[in-house]
Amino acid sequence: MWLLQAGALLAYGSPTPARARTARMAATADAPFWFDPCLEFGLDEPRPDAGTLPLLLVLPGADGSGITAWMQFPSLAQEYAVRALCVPAGDRSSHADLVALVSQEVRSVGEGRELFLLGESMGSGVAIDVALDVPQELSGLLLVSPATGWHRKLGYRILTWRDSVLVPVLCVAGTADLRVPAADEARRFEREVSRCRCVYVEGAGHAGATDDRLDLRAELAAWRREVIEVSRKEPTTAATV
């Protein structure tokens, strides 16, 4: 179960307009909803028509906001149609409910387009289960500060990944994450997933892995060029569950 604590949105250093506005948005909603963070928070710049761009769906961590990576959004929006999921404070969706919700969204918006799923922290667990549910609909999976090492305590399903997994993975972890062993999890994915690239942000903590020390747009471009494009030329095998 994920709960968005509105106060938690203001807990990471100085309050930002983005976090304050997300708190107000979440306070007036009673169910998870998708939004364009660049348009919502005035971060928008001239960009190509979103209908012509690959989709990037962002799944939040425990705070439910979907804006931890807000410093990356203006740059990403130049090459992706970015949509973030917000989970309001009053929502009581289970992990399985969120997996079903995101899987349905992927099915409904992804037909005929490249679609990438980005899971932050605990959202990485949802992202993984969605990738296992609808791998044929996804072009790639991004795991940022993955909290998947806590799966037994949290009670959600993290299946063991093997070399036959269908979805390419990009994992981003801070080397100074004291909240979860994100770097250890990144190394585990690197060992267990054949089409996996890991980026380690030196000195970054849990929420800092997507601050200005990282150029996520450039990392995505390199990953797509060096991992995804190469893998498309290789024979595809079925996923092992």
DSSP secondary structure string, 54-109? PEEEEE--TT--S-TTGGGHHHHTTTSEEEEEE--TT----HHHHHHHHHHHHHHH
Q: Is 53 inside any structural domain?
A: yes
Its domain, for residue 171, covers 6-226
Residue 75 located in a structural domain: yes
Q: Select from 39, 23, 90, 38 the least CA-distant residue to 69.
A: 38
- Domain annotation covers residue 238: no
Q: Is residue 236 part of a domain?
A: no
Whether 241 maps to a domain, the answer reads no
User: Quick check: 212 and 187 in contact, CB under 8 A?
Assistant: no
Residue 198 sits in a domain whose CATH number is 3.40.50.1820
pTM: 0.78
- The amino acid at residue 169 is V
22 lies in some domain: yes
* Whole-number Å distance between alpha carbons of 87 and 148: 19
Does the residue 235 lie in any domain?
no
**Integer Cα distance of 44 and 232 in angstroms:** 33
E-strand ranges in 155-195 read 169-174
Tell me if 97 is assigned to some domain.
yes
pLDDT tens string, the chain, 241 residues long: the values are 233 333 333 333 334 555 666 665 656 668 899 999 888 877 667 777 878 899 999 999 877 877 777 788 888 999 999 999 999 878 889 989 999 999 999 999 877 889 999 999 888 889 988 998 999 899 999 998 888 765 544 434 444 554 445 789 999 888 878 778 888 888 888 888 878 889 898 877 777 677 788 888 999 999 998 888 776 666 554 443 3
CB atoms within 10 A of CB 195: 19
Contact (CB, 8 A) for 134 and 66: no
- The total of structural domains in the chain comes to 1
List phi, psi (to 5°) of 76.
-60, -35
